[in-house]
Structure 1
Amino acid sequence: MNIKSKQILCIGEVLWDRLPTGAKPGGAPMNVALHLNAIGLDVTVASSVGNDQLGEELKQFLENSGVITDYIQSDANLPTSEVLVHLDENNNASYEICEPVAWDNICLTDALQEKAKQAGLMIYGSLASRNPETRNTLLTLLENDAVKLIDVNFRKPYDKQDVVELLLEKTDIIKLNDDELLVFAGWHNKAIDAEKELVKWFAAYYKVQMVCVTKGEKGALLYFDGDFYEHPGFKVTAVDTVGAGDAFLAGIVAALLQKKEPQEALAFACATGAFVASKAGATPKYDMEEIKRIMNP
């Protein structure tokens, strides 16, 4: 897979997760960017916040974390996004997402288009495209020669087939979870019980180079160049699962950019996801030594 530069552009939602323990910065593209930045990679976030106190606090948090905020727009009419996070008895998260919010209106600017042209890798999700303004901006930005990676990230009711498949037409790499994989199978009436056969069909149907399927506490599976790689995951005591999938994605992107073998990349990604699941919120202070201890107890 030829990545023309090491510049990474993450596009989509930035927000405040309202957890039972308090408010934490969140949003999948921002979470991924924070982890990639902590690992030491060149990453930029493109999004929008409201012209309000919550937006200023979110930008300040990013700046304090070392992430450039030049491509985070300020919307005079729409508020900064807040998401209510509910945890079940196993600390698995479900989300109550308000709309419209600032990231529903990410505008296409000359500066953003130029940044997209410079990127070697573009990371985006399906949630931010729920409304046409941001969706049209994203679709225009994806018309370039960067490697494009989508994090499917279904959040009901924003999981419409026509929108999601429009985005998948533009991508090279797909990351999704095992439940989301079954949704795609249902859309196309594919009654395939064997997981690997289903992943093969999925990769062929959407014409992608790589598919990564996360399976919660059961680990993850990577399909790349016709070969499968698997990892059972690492056992940790979960505080909440918010952002664990985003950390996993950052881990696998970082490992692949660093030219690690797919199996090694998968192990590092699982450890990164486990680390975040063992902490409160989506973006705990990054600790490479603790991740190494998870991998080698």
Structure 2
Amino acid sequence: MIQKNSSPIAVSFGEVLWDIFPTYKRIGGAPLNVVYHLRKFGIETHIITKIGDDDLGNKILKHIQDNQISSDNVQRDSTYRTGTVFATFDDHNEANYDFLENSAWDYIDLEEKTINLVKRSDVFIFGSIASRSAKSRNTLTQLIEVANYKVFDINLRPPHYDLKFVMEMMKKANLIKMNNAELEIILNELDKTFTTEEESITFIHEYFKCEEIIISKGAKGGIYSDTKSLYRFPAIEIVIRDTVGSGDAFLAGLLAEKLKSNTPITFLKKGATLGAFITSHTGACPEYEIDDFTTFYDENIYLDEEIKVSPLKEEDPS
């Protein structure tokens, strides 16, 4: 279970890059998006990544520092370029990504100060994309061993993942977040047929010994499970401007509230509302003040009763 310290520390690991869209480009990467929003809630945030010793890298470093995210563990590389990803949108306004090979974030070094940071952090957040290379994968593996509360935001982008490694990391995570498509990929790899969401989630809990699972379902909301109860939460109806980074915002809102309270309905409402708030803006990390979000939250939050709670497994009558 996540700790609730008076001055929590959140650390993320992985890719920081430039999202190149058809008509514009923005700084992005899920690990940066999550800590960007966590910082808005006043949480001390750090990111472990590597950028190139180039102009794109300089702009990323400035962006991190300007948003009061610690850059102490942002490494520089004179050999490999700052990462870029080319993004396009389909007919459903969902983004598709093409990542630059051999980016600086593929070569994140393991450093003593980084190990010490992760040891004292309350939350350690990581995904699957940064594990595509042996160097960063090795660093991640060692950091996970010293982390306290491990959040695995599965983000399967073919061909940038090794499914066997992904499943190894699932066994080490406290909280796993994925979508329905990723759930089915994992189940298929384990020769498990998808039947119902409840049965599939129970299987994931038992197979990976994971305490908490989130299944994101986009416009249909999502599911949270803590091995005992299953919570179905709806999406908040808003005018969609941009879906990029909405899942990262959801996770940040959930974790920000979770660092204060372990009441599922409370942190699910905060996560769902921040995800909707960001979707109503352009970009994964739009400029905003926490008061802007608070106003949006008060105007759009749904009732507790709209989150449907049920036992994950029926009690054995015997």
Q: 1:140 to 1:260 in 2, by over 3 A?
A: closer
Runs of 4+ in 1 over 4 A off after TM superposition: none
CA RMSD, Structure 1 to Structure 2 (Å): 1.5
- Match status 1:3 vs 2:9: no
Q: 1:199 to 1:25 in 2, by over 3 A?
A: same
Q: What is the CA distance between 1:2 and its match in structure 2?
A: 4.6
For residues 145 and 82 of structure 1, the distance between their equivalents in structure 2, rounded to whole angstroms, comes to 28
Which residue number in structure 2 is paired with residue 83 of structure 1? Answer: 85
Which residue number in structure 2 is paired with residue 278 of structure 1? Answer: 280
The percentage of counterpart residues that share the same residue type is 33
Out of 233, 237, 246, the position equivalent to 2:235 is: 233
Out of 145, 148, 151, the position equivalent to 1:146 is: 148
Q: 1:145 to 1:111 in 2, by over 3 A?
A: closer
Which residue number in structure 2 is paired with residue 254 of structure 1? Answer: 256
Which residue number in structure 1 is paired with residue 130 of structure 2? Answer: 128
Q: What is the CA distance between 1:114 and its match in structure 2?
A: 1.1
8 Å Cα contact 1:219/1:232 also seen in 2: yes
Query: Residue type matched to 2:105 in 1?
Result: W
Which residue number in structure 2 is paired with residue 190 of structure 1? Answer: 192
1:10-159 superposed matches below 5 A? 10-159=12-161
The TM-score, its normalising length taken from structure 1, stands at 0.96
Q: Which moved more, 1:280-289 or 1:82-91?
A: 280-289
Which residue number in structure 1 is paired with residue 226 of structure 2? Answer: 224
The TM-score, its normalising length taken from structure 2, stands at 0.90
Q: What is the CA distance between 1:21 and its match in structure 2?
A: 3.9
For residues 271 and 21 of structure 1, the distance between their equivalents in structure 2, rounded to whole angstroms, comes to 28
Query: Residue type matched to 1:91 in 2?
Result: N
For residues 270 and 94 of structure 2, the distance between their equivalents in structure 1, rounded to whole angstroms, comes to 22
Which residue number in structure 1 is paired with residue 298 of structure 2? Answer: 292
Q: What is the CA distance between 1:144 and its match in structure 2?
A: 1.7
Q: Which moved more, 1:91-100 or 1:185-194?
A: 185-194
Q: Which moved more, 1:82-91 or 1:134-143?
A: 82-91
Q: Structure 1, residues 213-259: CA drift from partner, whole Å, max 9, x if none?
A: 10000001100141111111111222221111100110111111111
For residues 222 and 74 of structure 2, the distance between their equivalents in structure 1, rounded to whole angstroms, comes to 32
Query: Residue type matched to 1:107 in 2?
Result: D
Q: What is the CA distance between 1:292 and its match in structure 2?
A: 3.4
Question: What's the secondary structure of 2:146's corresponding residue?
Answer: coil
Question: What's the secondary structure of 1:143's corresponding residue?
Answer: helix
For residues 81 and 166 of structure 1, the distance between their equivalents in structure 2, rounded to whole angstroms, comes to 26
For residues 107 and 20 of structure 1, the distance between their equivalents in structure 2, rounded to whole angstroms, comes to 33
Which residue number in structure 1 is paired with residue 313 of structure 2? Answer: none
Question: What's the secondary structure of 2:145's corresponding residue?
Answer: coil
Question: What's the secondary structure of 2:188's corresponding residue?
Answer: helix
8 Å Cα contact 2:178/2:216 also seen in 1: yes
Q: What is the CA distance between 1:63 and its match in structure 2?
A: 1.0
Q: 1:120 to 1:68 in 2, by over 3 A?
A: same
For residues 57 and 263 of structure 1, the distance between their equivalents in structure 2, rounded to whole angstroms, comes to 38
- Structure 2, unmatched stretches of 5+, are 304-318
For residues 129 and 230 of structure 2, the distance between their equivalents in structure 1, rounded to whole angstroms, comes to 28
Question: What's the secondary structure of 1:142's corresponding residue?
Answer: helix
